[in-house]
Amino acid sequence: MKKFLSNYKTTIILLVAIIVGAIIGIIFQEKATVLSPFGDLFLNLLLVIIVPLIFLTLTTSIAKMKTPKRLGKIMVTIIAVFVITSIIAVLVGFASTYFVKLVDTEDGEKIRAAMEETTTDETEENEEELTIADRTVQLLSVNDFSKLLSKDNIIALLVFSVIFGIAMNMTGEKAKPVLDFLISANEIVHNIVKIIMYYAPIGLGCYFAALVGGYGASIAVGYLKTFVIYLIVSIAFYFIVYTLYAFMAGGKKGVKAFWQNVLPSTLTALATCSSAASIPVNIECSKKMGVSADIAETTIPLGTSFHKDGSIIGSVFKIMFLVCLFGTSLATTGEVLGVLGIALLANLLITAVPIGGGTISEMLIITMMGYPVAALPILTMIATIIDAPATMLNVVGDTVSSMMVTRIVDGKDWMNKK
């Protein structure tokens, strides 16, 4: 029992804090939002450290790789794992919604009527006509170095960090003074994260109390079915698919290591609803599972923006919600593949921020499906009610992906090297 309490002390404290927060939110409902500033303080502390954490972690990890061959193998493996697991996620999302009407006919008519009433000329004037190429350029790059210092441009920061790390690796010994400095800075940043985590029980408890109190009672009946189905799918995906992935990565030892260390990442994701805020905890959990530092510190930050199982499934739910609402046909293979493709593409445009960060992706869904801009609030509501379980899958999906990358890069005996 002492060993158990020692190993899971932090997890138990966070779990108790979240449960207490949820109870407070249920009892006091909207009054619990008075605790929101204390939760926002914790989230802000984590988010403010994200930019230096991602840059230093990713850059030093790549720069420290001894051979370009290993770097190339890791990057190619990460891409392959992300693509394959993302396709699996989108197929699960589609299979979960294809035979279910997320919106009943009567509810659909009411929602369409309300949507038409809220359509304004201002909304139409604000709609930007951007091509896929333009969106991609804006996603991967910025036009000023200072913009890389914003959490709103995390994908561009990831691209720059990878390039910077590769450049240092290519420079060799001449880059050693810079590498030593960045390694020292990285250690300092990780200690800052440890200091912030001392506040985690209070911050997470208050954040969850405000979340439950603010949104729990206001979820409309029309969206309840979507939430329940998504929750069931998320739980099944979390336990079944991720266990299977862990087994593929390390056999029975891999499954054991995964479930012994995944709870802190899971709880942080559920409480903060932020993939970015979960990066520090997630990297540590991956390392405890036996994942090497260079793979964990590369896979997790990249996965935060480019690999989101929960968001992909959520994108399918959003699309299928509108499909039911507007009576769109999905009778042909081309129409079905179109939905799957849009869900995958929209997922790439979701940045690692809390609720609201998927607006660009939702606009992409609406535009490519040919629906009116007035449908945006509908998708925003869906994004809000599924945010916690979606973030959980996003974060834990990166964790188990790092295990699979390790299996391919370091061989089948990687678990024995722990």
End-to-end, the C-alpha distance of the chain in Å comes to 24
- Do 94 and 345 contact (CB within 8 A), yes or no? no
3-state secondary structure string across 156-215: HHHHHHHHHHHHHHHHHHHHHHHHHHHHHHHHHHHHHHHHHHCCHHHHHHHHHHHHHHHH
3-state secondary structure string across the chain: CHHHHHHCHHHHHHHHHHHHHHHHHHHHHHHHHHHHHHHHHHHHHHHHHHHHHHHHHHHHHHHHCCCHHHHHHHHHHHHHHHHHHHHHHHHHHHHHHCCCCCCCHHHHHHHHHHHHHHCCHHHHHHCCCCCHHHHHHHHHCCCCHHHHHCHHHHHHHHHHHHHHHHHHHHHHHHHHHHHHHHHHHHHHHHHHHHHHHCCHHHHHHHHHHHHHHHHCCCCCHHHHHHHHHHHHHHHHHHHHHHHHHHHHHHHHHHHHHHHHHCHHHHHHHHHHCCCCCCHHHHHHHHHHCCCCHHHHHHHHHHHHHHCCHHHHHHHHHHHHHHHHHHCCCCCCHHHHHHHHHHHHHHHCCCCCCCCCCCHHHHHHHHHHHCCCHHHHHHHHHHHHHCHHHHHHHHHHHHHHHHHHHHHHHHCCCHHHHC
372 burial class (0-12, 13-18, 19+ CB within 10 angstroms)? middle
Q: How far apart are CA 395 and CA 275, in angstroms?
A: 6
The pTM assigned to this predicted structure is: 0.69
- Confidence at residue 99, expressed as pLDDT on a 0 to 100 scale: 84
- Confidence at residue 157, expressed as pLDDT on a 0 to 100 scale: 83
Q: How far apart are CA 262 and CA 287, in angstroms?
A: 11
129 burial class (0-12, 13-18, 19+ CB within 10 angstroms)? exposed
- Confidence at residue 125, expressed as pLDDT on a 0 to 100 scale: 43
Q: How far apart are CA 220 and CA 222, in angstroms?
A: 5
- Confidence at residue 75, expressed as pLDDT on a 0 to 100 scale: 85
| Per-residue confidence in pLDDT tens, the chain, 418 aa | 554 455 456 667 877 887 888 788 888 878 888 888 888 888 788 778 878 887 887 788 778 776 667 778 888 999 899 999 999 999 999 999 888 877 665 555 555 555 555 444 444 444 455 565 776 677 678 888 888 887 767 778 878 888 998 898 888 889 899 999 998 998 898 888 888 888 888 887 887 788 677 655 444 455 778 889 999 999 999 999 999 999 999 999 999 999 999 999 998 888 777 787 888 899 999 999 999 888 998 899 888 877 889 989 999 999 888 888 777 778 788 888 888 888 887 776 554 444 444 555 777 788 777 777 667 767 777 877 788 899 899 999 999 999 999 999 888 888 776 5
Q: Which CATH class is domain 12-417?
A: mainly alpha
- Do 353 and 276 contact (CB within 8 A), yes or no? yes
Phi, psi (degrees; rounded to nearest 5) at 372: -70, 150
354 burial class (0-12, 13-18, 19+ CB within 10 angstroms)? middle
Task: Give Cα 224 distance to the centre of its chain.
Answer: 22
Task: Give Cα 412 distance to the centre of its chain.
Answer: 28
Phi, psi (degrees; rounded to nearest 5) at 8: -115, 20
